[in-house]
Chain A
Amino acid sequence: MKRLNWLSMTAMVVLMALVVSACGGNGGGNNAGTSNSSDGASTSGEAIKISLLNSKGEIQTQLEEAAKTFQEDNPNITLEIMAAPAGTSPFERASTLYASGNPPTMMMLDTGDVEKFKDRILDLSGEKWNADAVENATKLTTFDGKNYGFPLAIEGYGFIYNKAVLDEAVGGSFDPSTIKTRDDLENLFKQIEATGKKALIISPMDWSLGAHFLPLAYAGQDRDMAEVDKFIDSLKAGTEDLSGNAVLNGLLDTFDMMKNYNIDKKSPLAGVYERGPEVLGKGEVGIWFQGNWAWPQIHDFDTANGEYGFLPVPISNNPDDFGNQEISSAVSKRIILDKEKSTPEQQEAAKKFLNWLVYEEKGQDFLVNQASIIPAFKNITLPAADPLGQSIQYYIAEGKSQESMSTLPADHWAKLGASMQKYLGDAGDRATLIKEIEEYWTSVK
């Protein structure tokens, strides 16, 4: 008995040691920069392993390619691209990775999320690209004079049109600048329907309605962002009477009109994202409310010879009202660098990757041509590769752009997106919607 006892004790200790070391090994992968040297992986220069959490699902393959190219240029750095699951916010993924003590070196977050992480991420103010970033690109990620975020992409949204369908509808070459009011738009819808096609598709996802469509009502309040901020503050304080708000009501009037011409009018909530690019690309509808990130999917169904562009979402019948000729756009995705678990070598490697994106030809080619990103840097002069990016660039160059709301509370899209779905599906009227918007804002901390 005694002997057996001793034997099994030993076995147990060995087993425990294995378990413990297996756990340790897990974390070890992350700071491989120092620990890998023992297995003789490289003799010239330390092998450094870094990772990037990608939250732009549509460019996952392109990013993986870019990681390979980057590795060719920097043989001692291995860059792994992790995908954030579709439909979850990158914040969720990043915070769970932090909670497990295993954060990636770089994380791609939405603008509004950066502040939450500021104690755990690296100050990037010293990087050269700060000076080359476009105006206001780093304003929202700068706290106490320190910039924490790398502005990755400018994104914009509005009505995407299929030029082939619209040409047929107007009988000639369609000119987007002719649409300046709600009546112009409705007229266009009627012209499209006259050709036997459907005018538009409204994708009913909560993020599209809650993070993109509804915020047009906030951003459209004033040309001056400071006034918009004041408006949001008064919403939080509950002092704003939304039922009398002209911009919101104007936007909802436009939405009512859109509902009438929706291809899915019969069952407006049944649609899925994938249906949008299909019916638009195939020319079954003329217009889809979405952003330039949808290009890769539209491209797959393209029947218009790549001729697409944006129309603003009009909120009134006065062509001079703010928003009637402007496209909503902003720097949307930010890359942040972890400072807690990453080694200095990994941080340097990650900074190198960011610089590679901005200053190296291959990096720029990846951003603009492979990933169809509109870069937020003045030194990148490559024209946008796709028609939607070009359209956004055109509106920005013309000064016809409206700053998108990128620092809304984290659950805004989900909660008010649901309210918008209710309105879209006629399960709630406008008074209900406005009440829900007001209640939401007064409940925000």
Chain B
Amino acid sequence: MIKEKEWWPRLKTRLLFTGPTLFAFLTVMIVPFIYGIYLTFTNWDGIATTHTLVGFENYGKVFQDKVFWKSFGLTLKYVLFTVILVNSVAFLLAFGLTRGLKGQNIFRAGFFVPNLVGGIVLGLIWQFIFSNVLVFVGEKTGIPLFSTSWLADPQKAFWALVIVTIWQYAGYMMVIYIAGLMSVPNDVLEAASIDGANGWTKLRTMTLPLMVPSFIVCIFLTLQRGFMVYDVNLSLTKGGPFKSTEMVSMHVYEKAFLSRDYGLGQAEALVLFLLVAVITLLQVYFGKKMEVEA
């Protein structure tokens, strides 16, 4: 809607509106990102006043770092389960809470609340639940599943992470699904009813295809959050027991700041960024193809 024809007034008007945001975006996103890329070519340890350029050596090391790929594999497994489970739970909640249930607004708010709790606090609360409350319950009732802390066993600790993630995000995704469900035009559904479609057929052939945009958004969000998980990982299991639940973000962080290999850590972060970008872009691209018009 820019009216000015000359390039200079045009630019001025543009800068007026986008300038501040552009400035902030450049300084806190683009410049650090580029500087970060520069650091991947150095052997900086994170504190020294000098560093030397080492070329692509760090990238070579990324591919030799077995622990990085192991934790990436673990993260993939975690992403797979959280994306499927968070979205299933969220959709079921949304579906159930748009049926005109009594007090459904209270339930909606209730399921959304965990998302408001910060990841660190949430992890600490659940750490207490898994290692104290459940163990106590297990000892009193004699249920062997709960008699020892879940966080002390690699397999169970992984599932503890998945459970907490579902609890945290299902409510948020539910809100998006509710919006999607509400936007499905009623006349289409009514027409289908008149044509004799039952509830299941309506859901499968009308509602779900019309909700594809909601699914694209929710799957994108859960994918991205799953890959980048750090806070819950840190406060719930600290990557333990014995590093068996260390997700890839945590590994990258520890490479840079604990092992004091900033260059390599940064290179791993960049590789991770590229992998996640490719995966999410593919997801959105193929998701878009499934969209239909009502």
* A contact residues vs B (CB 8 Å cutoff): 5, 8-9, 12, 15-16, 87, 89, 91-92, 94-96, 98-99, 116-117, 119-120, 204, 206, 266-270, 272, 409-411, 414-415, 418-419, 421-422, 425, 427, 445
Contact = CB atoms under 8 A, between A and B. Distances in A.
A288 B125 CA distance: 27
B257 A270 contact: no
A230 to B, nearest CB: 24
B46 interface: yes
A235 B190 CA distance: 76
A427 B154 contact: yes
Contacts of B13: 5
A87 B149 contact: no
Contacts of B238: 87
Contacts of A16: 20, 23
Contacts of B50: 119
Nearest to A87: B238
7 closest cross-chain pairs (CB), A and B: A270-B149, A269-B152, A267-B148, A270-B152, A418-B242, A421-B242, A411-B259
B131 A272 contact: yes
Contact of B258 (A92, A96, A98, A445): A92
Contacts of B240: 206, 269, 418, 421
B204 to A, nearest CB: 46
Majority secondary structure of chain A interface residues (helix, strand, loop or mixed): helix
B152 A267 contact: yes
Contacts of B260: 91, 116, 410-411
A277 to B, nearest CB: 17
Which range holds the interface residue count of chain B? 20 to 34
A269 B258 contact: no
Contacts of B12: 5
B47 A98 contact: yes
Interface of B: 12-13, 16, 19-20, 23, 45-50, 131, 135, 148-149, 151-154, 238, 240-243, 254, 257-261
A266 B242 contact: no
A427 B149 CA distance: 16
A269 B241 contact: yes
B157 to A, nearest CB: 9
5 contacts: A16-B20, A116-B45, A116-B47, A116-B260, A120-B49
Nearest to B253: A92
B236 to A, nearest CB: 13
A268 B240 CA distance: 13
B47 A12 contact: no
Contacts of B254: 411, 414
A312 B254 CA distance: 33
A427 B49 contact: no
A270 B148 contact: yes
Find the residue from B45, B153, B259 having the highest chain A CB count within 10 A.
B259
A299 B125 CA distance: 26
Given A418-B243, A425-B241, A427-B242, A270 B47 contact: no
A117 B47 contact: yes
A4 to B, nearest CB: 10
B149 A119 contact: no
Nearest to A414: B258
Nearest to B239: A418
A418 B243 CA distance: 6
Nearest to A267: B148
Nearest to A23: B27
Contacts of A422: 241-242
Contacts of A268: 152
B148 A12 contact: no
A266 B45 CA distance: 41
B148 A266 contact: yes
A96 B46 CA distance: 8
A206 B241 CA distance: 9
